């Protein structure tokens, strides 16, 4: 007998795991397919303080471990495989992976989005240890410390303004001689005494033994390099990188409706193809956080259950 799942979920980040939990709990035959590391971006976060009901000193890995335990408890199958091709238009959806081919009545795309990286020495090693890509997630950890924001667009400058609530000083590192954000945002930042801007400046290297302690800056006009070292009393500082996100939507870009690479959905996570839903950071939305990803995944699973009830006979 052909193996057809009720729900196939692509991605095992917070959205995919929440979808797997809800689908499994609804006794749907569910599979969660992850190509790399379970947990997505949150799996690399040392401390998580903005997920409701998370215990003090909770970490990304500990939250994901509990989510995986719940998914397994409710009977969802989990596999590691990279989906390379999809056929979503027919009633039974087909996902072709490097290892296996999976068929399902409904599909939830929860492939996430990744922040664009600087691509410099030390960045990977110090991510979550002073280097961050989310002010909302990590800003409070740098209370009364110095932080640096990389970028000059709307998101970067808005996040810099947000960080002034916590840091004693915020320095924007702009690789250009002017900001590229909206004029209205520029006016606010220029009036804020906590904010300084270094023009034509790039970070060339991040340094530290287990925590960010220093960085090398370069002036793009003169080529002059300077070393910034953390204040002795602080022991560290923050570098927040806001140079854009990359939605992980290559797989479906020619199949589902997208906007700047993000999948368009309605409020119930429906895409333009019946039986195909999207959840989490890969979809068009205003806030990309664990709590919103969880909500997306839960809603997508509930809607997938309703879709199956209405379109497939027992």
DSSP class of 54:
P
Which one from 137, 181, 281, 296 is the annotated catalytic residue? 137
Give the residue ranges of DSSP H helices in the chain: 14-25, 60-73, 123-126, 135-138, 154-163, 183-191, 290-311
**Rounded to 10 degrees, what is the CA torsion of 117, 118, 120, 125?**
-40
- Residue whose structure tokens are 């057809």: 4
Q: Six-digit token pair at 274?
A: 């019946």
Which one from 134, 181, 281, 296 is the annotated catalytic residue? 134
Q: Has 134 been annotated as catalytic?
A: yes
Which one from 138, 181, 281, 296 is the annotated catalytic residue? 138
Q: Has 266 been annotated as catalytic?
A: no
DSSP letters for 231-295: -TTT---EEEE-S-EEES-GGGTTTS-EETTEEP--TT-B-SSTTEEE-GGGBS-S--SHHHHHH
Q: Has 138 been annotated as catalytic?
A: yes
Q: Provide the annotated active-site residues.
A: 134, 137-138
């Amino acid at each position: 007998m052909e193996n057809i799942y009720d729900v196939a979920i692509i991605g095992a980040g917070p959205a995919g795991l929440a979808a797997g939990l809800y689908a499994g709990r609804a006794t749907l035959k569910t599979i969660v397919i992850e190509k790399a590391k379970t947990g997505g971006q949150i799996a690399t976060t040392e401390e998580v303080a903005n997920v409701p009901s998370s215990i003090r000193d909770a970490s990304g890995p500990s939250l994901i471990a509990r989510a995986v335990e719940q998914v397994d408890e409710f009977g969802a199958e989990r596999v590691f495989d990279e989906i390379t091709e999809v056929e979503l238009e027919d009633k039974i959806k087909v996902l072709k992976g490097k290892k296996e081919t999976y068929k399902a009545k409904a599909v939830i795309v929860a492939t996430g989005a990744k922040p664009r990286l600087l691509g410099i020495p030390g960045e990977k090693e110090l991510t979550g240890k002073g280097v961050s890509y989310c002010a909302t997630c990590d800003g409070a950890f740098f209370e009364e410390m110095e932080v640096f924001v990389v970028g000059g667009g709307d998101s970067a400058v808005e996040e810099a303004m947000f960080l002034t609530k916590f840091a004693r000083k915020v320095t924007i590192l702009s690789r250009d001689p002017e900001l590229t954000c909206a004029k209205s945002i520029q006016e606010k930042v220029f009036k804020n005494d906590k904010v300084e801007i270094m023009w034509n400046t790039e970070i060339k290297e991040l340094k530290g033994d287990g925590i960010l302690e220093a960085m090398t800056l370069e002036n793009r006009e003169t080529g002059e390099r300077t070393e910034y070292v953390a204040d002795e009393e602080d022991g560290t500082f923050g570098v927040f990188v806001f140079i854009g996100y990359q939605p992980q939507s290559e797989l479906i870009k020619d199949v589902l409706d997208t906007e700047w690479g993000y999948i368009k959905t309605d409020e119930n996570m429906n895409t333009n193809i019946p039986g195909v839903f999207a959840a989490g950071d890969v979809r068009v939305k205003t806030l990309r956080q664990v709590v919103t990803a969880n909500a997306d995944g839960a809603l997508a699973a509930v809607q997938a259950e309703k879709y199956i009830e209405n379109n497939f006979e027992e």
